[in-house]
């Protein structure tokens, strides 16, 4: 059974004798209660077969030393492993070494950037066990005062929270100091969707000018694929006879310099997509335009297209066609808008977009579902009206 009285509390000072050795708890001046500071010592459970005695000092009162000792014994009893000299910086550095085994390279690069540029300079010097909610809130306040973007701040705190969550799971910490930090939300982006007339006008402009990315935009618009998924599309994942393609990869750039293929955004994103006649024709043209490559859309060298280049080129083409400036990702919103506005069943639209759940589609495109909701209740009304009419007629 756990012994709550383990360890000892004592007072000591830094006075030295004539030979320069510290007197510690044997200093005669300790009879004066205002002399020296309080410390505790306790033997902890063996780690790797070795017993370890923890000694900590510098407490102003005996009660403070006893409270610190009791806390250590409580942590030991509940299985928490406390290294009270490890700093936040040391912990985050060790944490990153383990996360590189499980996370995507792009996520690792982002975590490393947030840790090195933001978290370590502000919080890295703190001892991990002393990090609390106020420290994180002060970090958020300082970042906002310095003019940092709210999205960046949220991602920094999310990185810290993820690291601390792992520490709690591993019983390294009793709680996550960043879990309930409040950060102002940035203005919500409202996607601007082209109308079918505008999308058709854009594609005609690309075709009329024989733009090399015409068929890329045809595929994105005709399938609702994400930009990275279209850029990572391999011919091996396309079956034109079966009118299907399989989304297996997505293309990202680490620090906007190094292209890397990773798994798509969610598990449900790895799925089959049906192909229309128009998309099949675009893929056949692309095969004739750039034969002999594994990737469907590439540079002349066969290397992947850069996502930032595709975005800039898309903006240039949109401006030339006299169309509103939107993101490449908004072409996916166009596909969703067109399907839902045409009363394609919600489940089928959600599967085509490869959302993880139908509720995801509902949340993102709730503004498009109002007409469908009106149609639903109007259908009920029409059914009741027919029944009333039949009853009146038969009477």
Q: Residue 97 corresponds to which tokens in the numbers above? A: 């070494």
Q: What is the pTM of this model?
A: 0.73
Annotate 278-316 with b (16+ C-beta within 10 A) or e (fewer). ebbebbeebbeebeebebbbeeeeeebbbbeebeebbee
Sign of the dihedral through C-alpha 42, 44, 50, 52: negative
Q: Residue 251: phi, psi to the nearest 5?
A: -100, 130
Q: Mean pLDDT of successive 10-residue segments in the chain (395 residues)?
A: 70 86 84 86 72 83 89 76 82 93 89 96 94 96 94 95 94 90 84 89 97 97 96 97 96 85 89 96 95 93 93 98 95 90 86 90 73 72 86 77
3-state per-residue secondary structure call for 340-378: HHCCCCHHHHHHHHCCCCHHHHHHHCHHHCHHHHHHHHH
Question: Cβ(9)–Cβ(66) under 8 Å?
Answer: yes
Find the helix or strand (DSSP H, E) in which 262 lies: strand 258-262
Position 1 scores a pLDDT of 42
For residue 4, what pLDDT is reported? 56
Domains of the chain with CATH codes:
8-78 (no CATH), 88-169 (1.10.150.130), 196-368 (1.10.443.10)
9 has which bridge partners? 40
């Amino acid at each position: 059974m756990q012994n709550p009285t383990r360890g000892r509390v004592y007072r000591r000072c830094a006075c030295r004798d004539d030979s320069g050795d510290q007197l510690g708890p044997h200093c005669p001046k300790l009879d004066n209660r205002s002399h020296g500071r309080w410390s505790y010592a306790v033997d902890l459970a063996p780690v790797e077969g070795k017993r370890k005695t923890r000694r900590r000092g510098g407490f102003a009162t005996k009660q403070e030393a006893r409270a610190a000792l009791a806390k250590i014994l409580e942590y030991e009893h509940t299985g928490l492993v406390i290294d009270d000299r490890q700093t936040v910086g040391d912990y985050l550095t060790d944490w990153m070494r383990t996360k590189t085994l499980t996370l995507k390279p792009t996520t690792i690069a982002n975590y490393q950037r947030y840790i090195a540029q933001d978290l370590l300079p502000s919080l890295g010097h703190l001892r991990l066990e002393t990090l609390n909610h106020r420290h994180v809130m002060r970090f958020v306040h300082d970042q906002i005062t310095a003019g940092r973007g709210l999205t960046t701040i949220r991602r920094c705190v999310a990185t810290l929270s993820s690291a601390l969550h792992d520490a709690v799971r591993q019983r390294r910490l009793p709680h996550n100091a960043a879990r309930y930090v409040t950060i102002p939300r940035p203005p919500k982006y409202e996607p601007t969707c082209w109308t079918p007339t505008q999308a058709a006008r854009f594609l005609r402009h690309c075709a009329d000018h024989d733009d090399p990315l015409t068929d890329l935009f045809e595929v994105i618009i005709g399938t609702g694929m994400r930009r990275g998924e279209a850029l990572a599309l391999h011919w091996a994942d396309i079956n034109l006879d079966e009118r299907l393609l399989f989304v297996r990869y997505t293309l990202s750039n680490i620090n906007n310099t190094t292209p890397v293929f990773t798994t798509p955004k969610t598990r449900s994103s790895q799925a089959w997509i049906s192909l229309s006649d128009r998309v099949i024709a675009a893929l056949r043209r692309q095969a004739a335009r750039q034969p002999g490559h594994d990737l469907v859309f590439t540079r002349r060298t066969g290397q992947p297209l850069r996502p930032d280049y595709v975005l800039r080129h898309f903006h240039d083409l949109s401006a030339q066609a006299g169309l509103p400036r939107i993101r490449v990702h908004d072409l996916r919103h166009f596909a969703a808008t067109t399907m839902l506005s045409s009363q394609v069943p919600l489940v089928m639209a959600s599967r085509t977009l490869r959302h993880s759940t139908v509720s995801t589609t509902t949340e993102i495109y709730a503004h498009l579902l109002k007409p469908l909701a009106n149609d639903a209740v109007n259908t009920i009304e029409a059914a009741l009206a027919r029944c009333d009419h039949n009853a009146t007629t038969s009477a």
